[in-house]
Amino acid sequence: MTDHFAFRLLATDGRARRGEITMPRGTIRTPAFMPVGTGGTVKAMYLDQVRELGADIILGNVYHLMLRPGAERVARLGGLHEFARWPHPILTDSGGFQVMSLAGLRKLDETGVVFKSHIDGSEHSLTPERSIEIQGLLDSDIQMQLDECIRLPAERAEIERAMEMSLRWAERCKVAFGDQPGKAMFGIVQGGDVVDLRLRSAEALAALDLKGYAIGGLAVGEPQAVMLSILHETLPAMPEAKPRYLMGVGTPDDIVESVRRGIDMFDCVMPTRAGRHGLAFTRRGKVNLKNARHAEDPRPLDETSSCPAARDYSRAYLHHLVRSDEQLGAMLLTWNNLAYYQSLMADLRDAIERGAFESRAGAIKDEWARGDIPAR
């Protein structure tokens, strides 16, 4: 086990990268999908299950954890790993995205952001320094800078102002983070859908020599083609020897296309949120279990899957659970969805190692295009 944070590339295929991040709490195989454990839990899952599916790292959320149960309380209880019984790496986001989305409930200036809790209306302050302090109290392994994320579309002047603010906040976060062996702070490239602003952000952050870099402010309302174009232009300006994390993305297709362009890490609530709303991800695309066509179908979601939720339960039973709003329905579909996402990542890693990324990506997309098995 290493005492340091390190990233190395094991193989490349075009721009697609196969690598690994090593740190004291474990190794992260990349490309990696990080299940979102917003409040210290991946919704509808035991964390032992999450690990068994192949997750090397999960994500925690500063905004939610600082409000409830509170970062100081988590620290007194041994940190987030001990609190949640997850001894493996944890990445915490800075809270910026959630706070910025509060809109009318916040006040923003150079110092940071003052906001009101969505829980009880109490007022809180989040500065770059406080965000890093909270992440330290949680004892997370990868900590994100505080940034300002704005929704698209937006005017260039507003995008530029937020990008410049985020750069200044990155410098303050780096100072606050200091030297923490075995841990890492990542900067976040901003700039909306304006390529030259993205490049300015990427180059300025690279000069800070951080241990990793994220791309934020995408998948916030723009078409997929815009997101992919931004990645295509921005990634070459980011340090090749550092991990690259695309925040909040996304669909399986988003992941395949982003890996093709050189992204190493992903997180998204999509597989867990979809599972709680009756939607399953499978090798043949999405399946809506609310649909009446499944009401008397004895077949499983996917008889070839290694996940019991997909392989061992009938569509009729899953349909019944979803339509009856039974908690087990959300549990089984979340299990299926996270299993599919982790299987997809393993598939992509293997394809890159074999130099077969393009052919495998094409085969995956062809299978999605076939659609679900015909109704009976």
The reply, when asked if residue 140 is annotated as ligand binding, is no
The reply, when asked if residue 136 is annotated as ligand binding, is no
Residue 70 CB partners (closer than 8 Å, separation 6+) = none
DSSP secondary structure string for all residues of 35-70: -B-TTSS-TTS-HHHHHHTT-S-EEEEHHHHHHTT-
Neighbouring CB atoms inside 10 A of 40's CB total 21
The reply, when asked if residue 147 is annotated as ligand binding, is yes
DSSP letter at 374 equals P
**In the beta sheet, which residues pair with residue 22?**
6, 27
Sign of CA dihedral 88, 2, 344, 31: positive
* Residue 110 to residues 6, 165, 169, 300, Cα–Cα distance (Å): 33, 7, 8, 54
The reply, when asked if residue 186 is annotated as ligand binding, is no
In whole angstroms, what is the distance from residue 189 CA to residue 159 CA? 12
Please calculate the CA angle 301-267-352 and round it to the nearest 5 degrees: 75
Active site residues: 93, 267
The reply, when asked if residue 93 is annotated as ligand binding, is yes
The reply, when asked if residue 5 is annotated as ligand binding, is no
The reply, when asked if residue 96 is annotated as ligand binding, is yes
The reply, when asked if residue 94 is annotated as ligand binding, is yes
In whole angstroms, what is the distance from residue 266 CA to residue 251 CA? 10
Q: Residues 244, 262: contact at Cβ < 8 Å?
A: yes
**Binding site per annotation, positions:** 93-97, 147, 190, 217
Binding-site residue positions for substrate: 93-97, 147, 190, 217
